[in-house]
Each structure stands twice: as structure tokens, then as C-alpha cells.
């Protein structure tokens, strides 16, 4: 299948776009058409078979895909659905190696990139910018692979300690991690600038490298994120809590919008989703956009919150949504306005179209803590701060429909926030928080405790202007 450029550039075959996702227009590669699929036929399929079916419908298959999907064998379990109430379920996407939903896409995508590099005897430099979860997942997926080097950029003061240590302690020779002065939007902008820097790319080519990305600039990320939304619905049917064809609502804590975009594609492919609820933290640009049709970051300053992976103002994947709903000319116009004026506005008719699929709300830090405590007391179940924000949608966006909350990370990545929510007092570090939680009988996976004892390897913090030269020197 050919992928389209959101800003009207040349189409590109899917497999090529996975390896080389940069677009000459600075747009994103995305689905040119969205196929209709019979998901009911896969009610009894294992997760890997469901993934293979969806990928095949988009033109991706063969041994390279089958080998990539074997990565899911290490998940324990794969995307379980936890019922909290008869009409409320939590889709747990954090049972991979780095305890976050990014593993669901990056484990198979990383395997595919490794196969492409090896089979084609190419060398790839994979860049990734992270707000906390994408970085560890990318590093874990690509560590030690032949012909691949990885550079990870993260905001030096913008992640939890566990997230930072997951990156800083990675010791594979093909990995390099840099903290940057700034926030995630700065890191993401730096990555996109490097992708489109002809001089930087020419110097990489002289060293024999092609440049790629593991951020959701790469459509492979979104592709694998479609699968688990379908899986959640089928799992609910298998549990005999809904019948196939019953409409549900999906609630997604949202930062860069890739997770919610996967739900949108699943809906358009035929999954019975009535609405997708978008939940923001205090950086509520998405909530404002889906409620008003105005995407405006001209007056905003990024706020640090207890849900740091959602501390984002410029959500890249909204561009793919605009393309799907309004086409490439309108998308290009909106993105140019965002680049030039830091805002764009939908027409009333466009906003009405948007609201056919989405609803949105924002959640404060205080509410986030309250929901963590509430779920623990009511269900004896711990959720992380990002998942906690999704509970706001249940209270604010009343709906009789069965709802699936997409749970994006394990609580153990955020011990201090978890402890603050349950004990109502701050702690000096993650270690102290874990000790207090242990007295309540709450213990993290053993590798989290081991992680806190490790000595960081990657400790450099760079200005954005220094990134390119440091990458070239490392190579």
C-alpha cells in the first residue's frame, strides 16, 4: 500500500516509509485510504494473528512481519483487559520490557527496522525524541542490533527518575542518550529539524548512514497502535460483557495523539466505537482544540505536571487526523499557520466533523492524585498518573456507553506521584517513596528496584544547537 504525504508530496510505499519516514514537504506519511475490515472474524485469534491481519490489509506482511510479531511472546501478558465495573474496563498496555504502552508498537517496529538494515546491508541512524516513555521503549527495542545506531533526546528536567534511569543506564554500544535543555516540544522540533537538514543528512550519508526515526513521525508506530484497540473490543466480547456490534467509548490520555489516532483508524476500519474521549493534563491544547476547533499555542508555556508524558503542546499526530478528515490542502494550510502564527482554526463545519468522532476534557494535577487514590481504594488497583487523568472523562463526559480506558504505563514508573496520592505527603526521591509504599504492601517489579541502584552512563546535557555536532562526533 502507498502512504500519502499529509501536505501533498509524493506517495511512498509503506515498507519504505517505515525505514525512511522523512518527507520533503515536512509533512507526515499516513494512510491514503482506510480499508474496511471484518474484525468479528478474528474473535478467537491470538494477538499476533490479529496484528498480522490488520498489517496485511495495509500491504505489510511476509517473514519480516512475522519475525517482528514474535517480540510479543516476551510480554506477560499481552494487553490484558481489566474490568473495574460491568461497563468500565481498563486496557493495560504496560506489560512489555519498559512498563509503558510504547513497547506495544516499538518492539515489533524495532525488529522490522533491524531486519531491513540487515537484509539490505544498510546502516540506519534512528533518532528519537521522548517525553518519557518513547525513549526507553526505543532503546530497549533496538539495543545491540546490527547496522543500527540510536540517538535518544529527552528533556533533562522533564521525566520521572525511573524514566530517566531507563535511558541513562542503557549500555549497548549502539545507543547514545542526550538530555537537552528545554522541554519535549524542543526535543521534537530538534529531531524534525535534523530530519530535514540537508547538510546534516549529507554528512551522515558520507559515513554510510540513512536517517530514520522511532517517534510517531514514523507511521509504523501508529500502525501497531491500531491493533490493541481492536483487541480490547474483541476481548470484551469474549468476556461476554458486550455483544459484537455494541458501541463503546474509548478514553485516551493524550500527549502526541498517536494512541488516540490508532483508535480513530480502528473506528474508521469498522470497529464499533461511538466516540473517542481525549484527556489532557494542564497542557490542555488538545482539549481546547477538540472543543473549540482552535489549535493555539501562541500564548502557552509548557507546564510540568504529574503526568509528564503528556506535557506536550505541539501534538504531531493531529496532522494525520486533519489529513484523514479534510485532505492534504487543508492540512498543509493549517500546519503552515501553526508554524508561522502558532495557531490555526477550523471552520464550524470542520469542527462539527471533528466532534462526530471525538470529545475532550482536561484534568488538573489535584484531580489526577485524587483519581489514583480513588481507584486504589475502590478497586484495590494502582494506576499511573496518566491513566488517572482518564477518570476525569468518566465524571465530566457522562455517557451510558461501555467505556475502555487506555492505561498507558505502570504505576512503578512514578513512585513519588503514587506515594503522594496515597499518603498525601511528598517524598525526597523515588527510593523513599518505594520504601513507604512497601509498608502498605505495594511493591514494584524487581527490575525497577534494581534500576534505582544502577549508575547512569549517559549523563550529557546539551543545548539544542549542540545536538548535531555531538551526534556527528559520536558516529
Per residue in 255-276, pLDDT (tens digit) is 999 999 999 999 999 999 999 9
Domain annotation covers residue 34: no
Per-residue model confidence as pLDDT tens digits over 102-142:
999 999 999 999 999 998 899 999 999 998 899 999 999 99
Domain annotation covers residue 388: yes
Q: Are residues 164 and 196 in the same domain?
A: yes
Q: How high is the pLDDT of residue 411?
A: 97
Q: Which residues contact 322 (CB under 8 A, 6 or more apart)?
A: 6, 330, 331, 334, 335
Among 381, 412, 443, the domain-final residue is 412
pLDDT at 285 over 90: yes
Per-residue model confidence as pLDDT tens digits over 402-434:
999 999 999 999 999 999 999 998 999 898 999
Q: How high is the pLDDT of residue 215?
A: 84
Q: Annotate 10-49 with b (16+ C-beta within 10 A) or e (fewer).
A: eebebbebbbbbbbeebbbbbbbebeebebeebeebebbe
The answer to whether the Cα torsion of 258, 264, 269, 272 is positive or negative is: positive
Q: Are residues 44 and 163 in the same domain?
A: no
Q: How high is the pLDDT of residue 138?
A: 95
pLDDT at 1 over 90: no
Per-residue model confidence as pLDDT tens digits over 168-205:
999 999 999 999 999 988 998 899 889 888 899 999 99
Q: Are residues 336 and 375 in the same domain?
A: yes
d(CA 304, CA 12) in angstroms, rounded, equals 38
Q: Are residues 243 and 323 in the same domain?
A: yes
Averaged confidence pLDDT in the chain = 95
Domain annotation covers residue 431: no
Domain annotation covers residue 124: yes
Q: How high is the pLDDT of residue 447?
A: 85
Domain annotation covers residue 28: no
Give the pLDDT band of residue 284 (cuts 50, 70, 90).
very high
d(CA 213, CA 189) in angstroms, rounded, equals 13
pLDDT at 251 over 90: yes
Q: Are residues 309 and 378 in the same domain?
A: yes
Q: What is the mean pLDDT of residues 55-70?
A: 94
Containing structural domain, residue 107: 102-216+457-474
- The structural domain count of the chain equals 2
pLDDT at 20 over 90: no
Q: Are residues 51 and 184 in the same domain?
A: no
Q: Are residues 347 and 247 in the same domain?
A: yes
Q: Which of 215, 211, 151, 209 is nearest to 20 (CA)?
A: 211
- Parallel, antiparallel or unpaired: strands 461-462 and 248-253: unpaired
Per-residue model confidence as pLDDT tens digits over 446-461:
889 899 999 999 999 9
d(CA 339, CA 196) in angstroms, rounded, equals 15
Q: Are residues 290 and 342 in the same domain?
A: yes
**How wide is the angle at C-alpha 103 spanned by C-alphas 99 and 106, nearest 5°?**
155
Residue 237: exposure state from Cβ atoms within 10 A (0-12, 13-18, ≥19):
middle
What is the 3-state secondary structure of the chain?
Answer: CEEEECCCCCCEEHHHHHHCCCCCCCCCEEECCCCCCCHHHHCCCCHHHHHHHHHHHCCCCHHHHHHHHHHHHHCCCCCCEEEEECCEEEEECCCCCCCECHHHHHHHHHHHHHHHHHHCCCEEEEEEECCCCHHHHHHHHHCCCCCEEEEEEEECCCCCHHHHHHHHCCCCCCEEEEEECCCHHHHHHHHHHHHCCHHHHHHHHHCCEEEEECCCCCHHHHHHHHHHHHHHHHHHHHCCCCCCCCCEEEEEECCCCHHHHHHHHHHHHCCCEEEEEEEECCCCHHHHHHHHCEEECCCCCCCCCCCHHHCCCCCCCHHHHHHHHHCHHHHHHHHHHHHHHCEEECCHHHHHHHHHHEEEEECCHHHHHHHHHHHHHHHCCCCCHHHHHHHHHHHHCCCCCCEEEEECECHHHCHHHHHHHHHCCCCCCHHHHHHHHHCCCCCCCHHHHHHCCCCCCCCCEECHHHHHHHHHHHC
Q: Are residues 160 and 210 in the same domain?
A: yes
Give the pLDDT band of residue 66 (cuts 50, 70, 90).
very high
Q: Are residues 353 and 319 in the same domain?
A: yes
Domain annotation covers residue 447: no
Domain annotation covers residue 4: no
Q: How high is the pLDDT of residue 196?
A: 84
Per-residue model confidence as pLDDT tens digits over 365-382:
999 999 999 999 999 999
Q: Are residues 201 and 323 in the same domain?
A: no
Domain annotation covers residue 425: no
pLDDT at 151 over 90: yes
Q: Are residues 290 and 398 in the same domain?
A: yes
Give the pLDDT band of residue 216 (cuts 50, 70, 90).
confident
Which residues on adjacent β-strands are paired with residue 238?
none
Share of the chain above pLDDT 90, in %: 88
Tell me the CATH number at 96.
3.40.50.1100
d(CA 139, CA 126) in angstroms, rounded, equals 10
Amino acid at each position: 500500500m502507498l502512504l500519502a504525504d499529509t501536505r501533498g508530496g509524493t506517495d511512498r510505499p509503506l515498507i519504505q516509509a517505515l525505514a525512511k519516514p522523512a518527507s520533503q514537504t515536512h509533512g507526515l506519511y499516513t494512510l491514503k485510504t482506510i480499508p474496511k475490515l471484518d474484525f468479528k472474524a478474528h474473535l478467537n485469534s491470538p494477538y499476533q494473528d490479529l496484528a498480522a491481519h490488520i498489517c496485511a490489509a495495509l500491504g505489510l506482511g511476509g517473514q519480516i512481519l512475522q519475525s517482528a510479531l514474535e517480540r510479543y511472546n516476551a510480554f506477560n501478558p499481552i494487553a490484558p483487559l481489566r474490568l473495574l465495573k460491568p461497563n468500565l474496563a481498563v486496557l493495560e498496555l504496560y506489560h512489555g520490557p519498559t512498563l509503558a504502552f510504547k513497547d506495544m508498537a516499538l518492539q515489533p517496529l524495532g525488529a522490522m527496522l533491524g531486519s531491513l538494515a540487515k537484509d539490505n546491508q544498510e546502516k540506519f541512524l534512528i533518532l528519537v525524541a521522548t517525553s518519557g516513555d518513547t525513549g526507553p521503549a526505543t532503546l530497549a527495542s533496538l539495543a545491540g542490533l546490527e547496522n543500527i545506531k540510536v540517538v535518544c533526546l529527552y528533556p533533562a528536567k522533564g521525566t520521572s527518575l525511573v524514566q530517566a534511569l531507563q535511558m541513562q543506564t542503557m549500555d549497548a554500544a549502539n545507543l547514545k542518550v542526550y538530555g537537552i535543555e528545554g522541554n519535549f516540544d524542543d526535543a521534537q522540533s530538534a529531531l524534525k529539524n535534523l530530519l530535514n537538514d540537508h547538510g546534516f543528512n549529507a554528512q551522515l550519508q558520507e559515513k554510510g548512514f540513512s536517517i530514520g526515526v522511532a517517534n510517531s513521525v514514523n507511521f509504523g508506530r501508529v500502525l501497531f497502535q491500531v491493533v490493541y484497540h481492536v483487541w480490547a473490543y474483541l476481548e470484551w466480547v469474549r468476556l461476554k460483557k458486550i455483544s459484537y456490534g455494541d458501541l463503546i467509548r474509548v478514553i485516551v490520555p493524550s500527549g502526541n495523539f498517536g494512541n488516540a489516532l490508532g483508535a480513530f483508524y480502528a473506528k474508521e476500519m469498522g470497529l464499533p466505537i461511538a466516540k473517542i474521549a481525549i484527556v489532557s493534563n494542564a497542557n490542555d491544547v488538545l482539549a481546547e482544540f477538540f472543543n473549540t476547533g482552535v489549535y493555539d499555542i501562541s500564548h502557552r508555556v509548557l507546564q510540568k505536571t504529574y503526568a509528564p508524558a503528556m506535557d506536550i503542546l505541539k501534538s504531531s499526530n493531529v496532522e494525520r487526523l486533519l489529513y484523514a478528515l479534510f485532505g492534504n490542502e487543508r492540512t498543509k494550510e493549517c500546519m503552515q499557520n501553526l508554524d508561522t502564527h502558532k495557531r490555526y482554526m477550523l471552520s464550524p463545519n470542520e469542527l462539527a466533523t471533528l466532534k462526530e468522532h471525538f470529545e475532550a476534557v482536561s484534568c488538573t494535577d489535584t484531580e489526577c492524585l485524587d483519581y489514583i487514590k480513588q481507584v486504589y481504594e475502590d478497586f484495590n488497583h494502582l494506576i499511573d498518573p496518566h491513566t488517572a487523568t482518564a477518570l476525569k472523562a468518566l465524571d465530566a463526559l457522562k455517557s451510558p456507553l461501555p467505556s475502555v480506558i487506555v492505561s498507558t504505563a505502570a504505576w512503578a514508573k512514578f513512585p513519588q506521584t503514587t506515594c503522594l496520592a496515597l499518603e498525601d505527603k511528598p517524598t525526597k526521591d523515588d527510593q523513599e517513596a518505594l520504601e513507604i509504599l512497601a509498608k502498605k504492601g505495594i511493591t514494584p517489579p524487581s527490575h525497577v528496584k534494581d534500576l534505582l541502584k544502577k549508575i547512569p552512563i549517559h549523563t550529557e546535557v546539551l543545548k539544542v544547537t549542540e545536538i548535531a555536532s555531538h551526534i556527528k562526533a559520536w558516529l
